[in-house]
Structure 1
């Protein structure tokens, strides 16, 4: 895929001449478009003209402030955004800060929880959204299946019953429309298996005419309700002394990606199930969420990321017993990860993690096992130290998240898991840009308010 507009801006910054930029655009266009040389040149000139207008246009200071944005001098790559590690969590905390406008919520972005929640007239409305795995653009059914299952999980683990799904599809200009249909087929499969309908959506191109190629990006959201508001499961309710229960996990989009790009595509079959949803339905039907302090799915940055984020949110510590954890990871998936040299504790396994008082553990375990769901206690919540620790072969190790999630493809291994040497500088500039975004919002709010009074 080629971002023609971005390419022009970058080449201009590198002091390329107009002729050189047009030549490069023509080369990119001819890769994807079946155009004559003359047509390709004409399109390149049109794209250049539009972009050049935005680069050089003169406007008032007020309008310029609206159209421009504060630069972090840090890229998505630099901060590992989407890679579910230290950098990603840092950016998400800043996004949460920007989104906080003082409107009361039960679970807002600052909670850094799996889903958000607001109080309705009678019920609590729970909302979640998940983006499609970026490496599954050529495998849309798998992408659709797993992102739908993921967003439903995020609603379920708040103790809510999912009622509806929605989706947003973006396919680049040269993408085959069949990708849209195959992706929707993945959503449809989960929808029919769970009885939760897809009720709304939007379909657009990636970047309109300015982006050529076949890349597919999308998301699926879910909406649910909790009938008993005070029973909503939230990470802040985790307490010292809680048992940590885990259900069997076989992975989702991340494991499917690992299998496909690791040359073991048959492992993808292991990920196609609705066991997580079945487990949550069992807990709802047995009214067991009232005995659960919190629940989460093993996704963000693996068990390393999830446990440490919960420790920060709830101000607790955890002891995790690796032998117990290993026994509940799908053996085919675990073997693949070990054969490929991937840290299974640093990638998404999609297990259900339940935090509950020890007096309720056996009842919850019994209910899940009666529903033919493998599960067990993998650890306990402690008062101090306020961090996650892994007990392995009698040795205690710190279960810390890396800067990025465990590298599960060759490209990710090339990029690495270590933080950049100038991490602190990048983070400081990023935090400053986030503050500027808040100031900009407040300024525009004031302008609009004054005009409309």
Structure 2
């Protein structure tokens, strides 16, 4: 529970004494302390929050601008941030706009909406491409730190691999709330290190803090893992796809999303299916066979499932992609596919963690052999065309592949929230757009002020 956030909201509608008593009771729900100690905490938080509210009346305009943030009046959940659908993609594009406004140089920027970012450096007259990626722990795996660490480490390494880079290091950022057991730190780190050991990529640095410091009660784990890779060749970014290319897919057994689905539906046997490194083995096979320079693009089927990835690739390249439904189904782990279908979850709308490769026909044949020889199932599932749309061929019918407002609902709570587009989505986008532009303006003002000191 965010007690600072509670006080900020409560002071707007209740008197201070009432807020004090409410907060004291809430603190006692989490802390094994006396009512007197809880009351001291409550009074301290209220006093601190009251001090911060004075900034609204401060006569230093620059300081006020630094402290306040541009409000969109659109909540994260309302527009579906983190839910890997249309709303989430829109917000990520606005984040990319802020990054682009810096005019700093990168070979692949967030604007490309690719799996990782890439910078190009010249070392002794040789070009080196450095790829970085970061992924956050699945929010529903807070109670299962090892699984959270394992799958987020895999995700970060995948994002580096699909950009055609050889992963060389992993870093972690670990935040555990005030009442969390320290053992969660160790279990999460062990999960990362299991992947690290399996793929021989060291965990080299990290940070460990509390979620919200003293202001957040409970034991929620919120963490991320980053990966760094290098390559002598240009990245296998989405924008390199060409008309006539073949689309390949490796078998996917899922990661954090499928693990969460299995756990929260009581289908624990499926969790075991997700514990593999076949994705990284497939990437290594392509790398070791020297095929990366010939592969046009690679991506992992994660954000919003194949629906989301296909839509984003089509948007980025302006090209069309045609997929065959029966071929895709063959590349989803049978137990995972059975679970999704029994639960009524669209297999194309969730992350199944397959590796998707786009390459010319002759190169695709070489890729299939290299990956197959590494013991990973792989199949041709479609092709690139010039229609400008992502399409699915299913039972002789053709439908356009579009991401839903949110990814396919894979837990009970997500099913309650739903995945339909809100009636005011366009209005929300306008508000978000303005907030992003305001953030750019604020950044420009601060940079200008610092340079002028």
TM-score w.r.t. length of structure 2: 0.97
Structure 2 Cα separation of the partners of residues 268 and 139 of structure 1: 12
Q: Partner of 1:71 in structure 2? A: 71
Cα deviation 1:35-73 (Å, max 9, x = unaligned): 111111111111111111111344222211110011101
Shift of 1:397: 1.0
**1:418: how far off?**
0.9
Q: Separation in 2 of the partners of 1:96 and 1:182?
A: 34
Residue matched to 2:161: 156
Cα distance, 1:17 vs. partner?
Answer: 1.2
How far apart, in 2, do the equivalents of 1:12 and 1:397 lie?
52
Do structure 1's residue 20 and structure 2's residue 25 form an aligned pair?
Answer: no
2:414 alignment partner, one of 401, 412, 415:
412
Distance of 1:56 and 1:388 partners within structure 2:
52
Hey, what does 2:2 align to over in structure 1? 3
Confirm or deny that 1:146 pairs with 2:151: yes
Larger mean CA deviation between 204-213 and 362-371 belongs to 362-371
User: What is the deviation of 1:359?
Assistant: 2.1
Tell me the CA shift for residue 179 of structure 1. Answer: 0.4
CA distance in 2, matches of 1:252, 1:24: 40
Match of 2:251 in 1: 248
Tell me, yes or no, if structure 1 residue 82 matches structure 2 residue 82. Answer: yes
How far is 1:77 from its partner?
0.5
Report the more deviating stretch, 118-127 or 243-252: 118-127
1:108 corresponds in structure 2 to 109
Whole-Å separation in 2 of the counterparts to 1:31 and 1:352: 46
**Bigger shift: residues 254-263 or 99-108:** 99-108
Establish whether residue 99 from structure 1 lines up as the match of residue 104 from structure 2.
Answer: no
| Separation in 1, partners of 2:50, 2:272 | 49
Q: Where in structure 2 are the equivalents of 1:342-361 lying within 5 Å?
A: 342-361=345-364
Name the structure 2 match of 1:218.
223
Cα deviation for residue 275 of structure 1 reads 0.2
Conserved 8 A contact 2:285-2:370: yes
| Aligned with residue 213 of structure 2, among 205, 208, 219 | 208
CA distance in 1, matches of 2:11, 2:344: 42
Tell me how far apart the structure 1 counterparts of residues 21 and 417 of structure 2 sit (CA, whole Å): 31
| Aligned-residue offset at 1:306 | 0.2
Residue aligning to 2:438: 436
2:326 matches 1:327: no
Tell me if 1:370 matches 2:373. yes
Which residue does the alignment assign to 1:36?
34
Q: CA offset at residue 261 of structure 1?
A: 0.3
Q: What is the DSSP-based 3-state SS (H/G/I as helix, E as strand, rest coil) of the residue aligned with 1:447? A: helix
| Structure 2 Cα separation of the partners of residues 55 and 418 of structure 1 | 38
Contact 2:291–2:363 (CA under 8 A) maintained in structure 1: no
Q: 1:10 Cα shift?
A: 1.5
SS at match of 2:74: coil
Query: Is 1:175 matched up with 2:175?
Result: no
Cα distance between partner residues in 1 of 2:22 and 2:385: 59
Point out the more displaced range, 195-204 or 419-428.
419-428
Deviations 1:400-425 (A, max 9, x none): 10000000000000000012211111
Matches within 5 A, 1:56-67: 56-57=54-55, 58-59=57-58, 60-67=60-67
The alignment covers a number of residue pairs equal to 446
Q: Secondary structure at the match of 1:424?
A: helix
Q: 2-side partners of 1:419 and 1:131: how far apart?
A: 25
Deviation for aligned residue 1:162:
0.5
Give me the whole-angstrom Cα distance separating, in 2, the residues matched to 1:415 and 1:23.
33
Q: Secondary structure at the match of 1:233?
A: coil
Distance 2:29 2:377 in 1: 50
The Cα shift of 1:121 comes to 2.2
In the TM superposition, what whole-angstrom CA distance separates every residue of 1:175-216 from its partner, at most 9, and x where no partner exists? 001000000010110000011001100000000011111000
Alignment of 1:270-289 (within 5 A): 270-289=273-292
Instruction: Give the superposed CA RMSD.
Output: 0.8
Distance (whole Å) between structure 2 residues aligned to residue 81 and residue 321 of structure 1: 29
Local SS of the residue matching 2:332: coil
Gaps of 5+ in 1: none
Question: Which whole-Å CA distance do the structure 2 matches of 1:12 and 1:390 have between them?
Answer: 53
* Secondary structure of 2:398 counterpart: strand
Whether 1:54 aligns to 2:52 is yes
Contact 2:296-2:358 at 8 Å conserved across structures? yes
